[in-house]
Chain A
């Protein structure tokens, strides 16, 4: 123990925290991706009256590991017509903003890498970055389908950033803090979803659109654009896009939990368990939507954001502000 304290004192408390946090986040990202690949197959299977994966391990639990091993062993194909620097950069770049978002999420009362006093701004700022890497992937692939996919993605992400932010502002007004920890602490009594049901619905819709999931999976609409922006990617590069997608699903669910469902607050069970129960419930809802709904059309998608979500979110914000002022 003394030796550990010694090491910490040498490299500094902050750095230690960052290193441990980063390792923890990496483990969480990978484990979450494994769980979600398995869960998605199982949810899809049972919704389509199939059994889904069951051969590898009990209930097919080892299947995701087998899948990832396969993807690791695959040859990395680089088509000859791609813009090489951009093509290589995109899968790596898509992963960075996702990692940063984990830093500020409070998993339990004392389990948070760093409580930044503008935590929500960090998350929103970094999640906007992921669209850049999709654009790079689409442009660098030099493929018409990829390009259309990435153009769609940019339009979609810009359109849905705004309702996303607008739906979180009322919460910030109520909690009077940008720090995620303070926001969760403010929900000790009643969850904010009770005060702000509209904001929750808007946030959830917008976040499904942000993660490019059905019914808003236009950037990778497989019946129109083959595979959208990642058409040309294979092997581990393709896996990185998938890893990022699943991590994104987890993050938007975690933010929704933190902001609306009381975060780690809950009776009897420890906070971290409550946090994961709530988060994975929202993840399940997203999977459920994917296997039930068809895809919306591009103009309908944009209309939904600009004509419905943004006005409703604005009205909600003004009403909340007005009531609190009174």
Chain B
């Protein structure tokens, strides 16, 4: 795959700078240096080859701004980094939002944090910073926002037309699970258009990372994704380990796998409760919390916290698991298997539930690469794409497991995929515990002050909601030069405007619930 796409790009675009790089060191296979002239050709070619947009970010190297486009393929692993250098004085780049829909929001994000203008972008207004800020926060030097751009703050003014009205779903609304606001234009009970408004939980974790050492940033990822904190923790730790070349002992890898899977089950349980509450059934919420409580107790004993874990360390773990953890986990797995049957009886076979979710909010397979959806959202469409098998990390390559997929990609499929994923998580936990080796849990010789070599790296893990990637640029200091988080909920959420169009408000809310949105993760 890597070879063919390398040849394809080289042959079809003349004078292109394309290099194969060491995947083990960089986390991507090909580095393409684009210019403003040939960027759209490259992106168009990748679109034709059905590459999906993994991430898009910007790095300020002071002499120039580099816009980084990360692509990958669902069928076989082939990560491509396309970079475009722009002038920091007058940063202008062509938009790719007409090719990849998701780029629309990534470009808005880059625009407000770096001041890059995207030519041809139809709605370059602020996405996160509604309170107003008069400089570009992620630039290394202070650059003031031009006066005419400041007007773009809060420039969203809904205009009511005849027979339609606007409803602000959120930021305080029972069904938005946090502080997401969706401006919905409605005609009676039907949704005409939906526009997510983000930024109510924006805490600028990416800027925080630039001001902290790698160790100091350890607790932050858990605050982005509170129900699946361990997996975000792992994404950060594993990326830094890859960057520094730290070998993690096998026992630590297995424990990472077990705890992550426990956390995934807990997160899915929370989702099932919240999803059913969206549909009006309140009892499953309490049932799910009952089971989740067991997991939290188990994890509390080893990690020391119940929600926002900070358990993994560079090269290993905070502390080792004991026999009690193993026996409690085994007990939980046994109990949870019975409970899954109960959930099946209580929810899956309920006629009202089936009527509410079947055929609603269908994501088509060809929509997926345009948005870069991942996690259960993509698996529901029938694509068996899971970072655990696609790009194995921790001990996932030593354990056999299936990837459950749906068929049509509607809300029902997203529900069944998550339910069967829980069963598979239990299998993984059981197999990993059986194989759990003895030995040290921390790598030897991890320096107190991590100073990774110069360069960049992209590392992704499968969090509960999908591909969670970290793109780190290191400048040999003990703090990251730039740390970018690719979060799955962001790209999953942005399919919502397309799915909600023309549906009933009740269905739109069911669809929004089915994505398992975690707002702090989107807002970062």
Complex Cα spacing A250 to B123, Å: 55
Q: Is B282 an interface residue (CB 8 A)?
A: yes
Within 8 A of A (CB), among B497-511: 504-507, 509
Do residues B281 and A226 form an inter-chain contact, with CB atoms below 8 A?
no
**Cβ of B280 and Cβ of A217 under 8 Å apart?**
yes
Given contacts A148-B189, A223-B279, A292-B283, contact A298 B356 (CB under 8 A): no
Q: Is A144 an interface residue (CB 8 A)?
A: yes
Are B509 and A297 closer than 8 Å at their CB atoms? no
- Residues facing B in A279-325 (CB within 8 A) are 291-300
CB of B217 within 8 A of chain A?
A: no
Mostly, the A contact residues are: loop
Taking a contact as CB atoms under 8 Å apart, the answer to whether B174 and A294 are in contact is no
A48 touches B506 (CB 8 A): no
A91-B279 Cα distance, complex, nearest whole Å? 28
Stretch from B20-28, B347-355, B364-372, B444-452 at the A interface = B347-355
A49 to B286, CA, bound (A): 8
**CB of A224 closer than 8 Å to a CB of B:** yes
Query: A248 at the A/B interface (Cβ < 8 Å)?
Result: no
Q: Smallest distance from the beta carbon of A217 to chain B beta carbons, Å? A: 7
| B328 interfacial contact with A, CB 8 Å | no
A84 within 8 A of B: no
Find the B residue at minimum CB distance from A147.
B165
Asked whether B362 is an interface residue with its Cβ less than 8 Å from the other chain, the reply is no
Q: Count A-side interface residues using an 8 Å CB cutoff.
A: 27
Q: Which residue of A lies closest to B278 (CB)?
A: A223
Chain B residues close to A by CB (< 8 Å): 165, 167, 173-175, 189, 276-283, 286-287, 290, 350, 352-353, 355-356, 504-507, 509
Are B356 and A296 neighbours in the complex by a CB distance under 8 Å?
yes
Is the CB–CB distance between B509 and A224 below 8 Å? Answer: yes
Give A152 to B175 CA distance when docked, in angstroms: 19
* In the assembled complex, A8 has its CB within 8 A of some CB on chain B: no
Instruction: List residues of chain A with CB within 8 A of the CB of B290.
Output: 49
A49: chain B residues at CB < 8 Å are 286-287, 290
Cα A300 to Cα B356 with chains together (Å): 9
Let me know if B286 and A223 touch, CB within 8 A.
no
A221 at the interface (CB under 8 A from B): yes
- Interface 1/0s, chain A 216-235, versus B by CB < 8 A? 01000111101000000000
**Nearest-CB residue, chain A, relative to B172:** A226
Output the least CB separation between B507 and chain A (Å): 7
Contacts of A292 on B, CB cut-off 8 Å?
A: 281, 283
Q: Looking at the assembled complex, report how far the CB atom of B347 sits from the nearest CB atom of chain A, in whole angstroms.
A: 8
A298 and B505 CA atoms in complex are apart in Å by 10
Q: A296 contacts which chain B residues (CB < 8 A)?
A: 352, 355-356
Closest to A48 in B: B286
A48 touches B174 (CB 8 A): no
Render A48-86 as a binary contact track against B, CB cut-off 8 A, 1 for contact. Answer: 111000000000000000000000000000000000000
In the assembled complex, the Cα of A146 lies from the Cα of B213 at a distance in Å of 51
Instruction: Tell whether A47 is near chain B: CB-to-CB under 8 Å.
Output: yes
Give every chain A residue within 8 A of B509 (Cβ-Cβ).
Answer: 223-224
Contact of A298 among B189, B350, B353 (CB under 8 A): B189
Residue in chain A with minimal CB distance to B513: A223
CB contacts (< 8 Å) of B174 on chain A: these are 222-223, 226
Cβ-defined contact, A295 with B189, below 8 A: no
11 A-B pairs with CB atoms under 8 Å apart are A47-B283, A48-B283, A49-B290, A148-B189, A215-B352, A224-B175, A293-B280, A293-B350, A294-B280, A297-B356, A298-B506
Q: Are A299 and B173 in contact (CB under 8 A)?
A: no
Whole-angstrom distance between the Cβ of B285 and the nearest chain A Cβ: 8
Q: Which residues of A sit under 8 angstroms from B507, Cβ to Cβ?
A: 297
Instruction: Kindly name the residue among B276, B283, B355, B507 whose own CB sees the greatest number of chain A CB atoms within 10 A.
Output: B283
